[in-house]
Amino acid sequence: MKEKETVINQFVNQYSHRLAKFAFSYVRDQQLAEDIVQDVFIKCCQHFDTFRGECPVEKWLYKITFNECMDYLRSSHFKRTVLTEHFDMLIQEHTRPEWKVIEQFDKEELLKNISALPGIYEEVIILFYFKYLSLKEIQELLQINISTVKIRLHRAKHLLRMMYCE
Instruction: Quote the pLDDT of residue 75.
Output: 77
Looking at per-residue confidence, does 103 or 119 come out higher? 119
Instruction: Quote the pLDDT of residue 90.
Output: 55
How much of the chain, in percent, has pLDDT values that exceed 90? 19
User: Predicted confidence band at 88 (pLDDT cuts at 50, 70, 90)?
Assistant: low
DSSP annotation string for 33-77: HHHHHHHHHHHHHHTGGG---SS-HHHHHHHHHHHHHHHHHHSHH
Chain centroid to Cα 22, Å, comes to 13
Per-residue model confidence as pLDDT tens digits over 132-153: 788 998 888 888 999 999 999 9
Instruction: Quote the pLDDT of residue 77.
Output: 65
Instruction: Quote the pLDDT of residue 93.
Output: 53
Per-residue model confidence as pLDDT tens digits over 10-38: 888 999 999 998 888 888 888 999 999 99
Record the pTM: 0.52
Q: Over the chain, what is the mean pLDDT?
A: 80
Per-residue model confidence as pLDDT tens digits over 57-77: 888 898 899 889 888 887 766
* Alpha helices (runs of H) in the chain, residue ranges in sequence order: 2-27, 30-46, 57-74, 76-93, 97-116, 119-125, 135-142, 146-165
Phi, psi of 26 (to 5 degrees): -95, -45
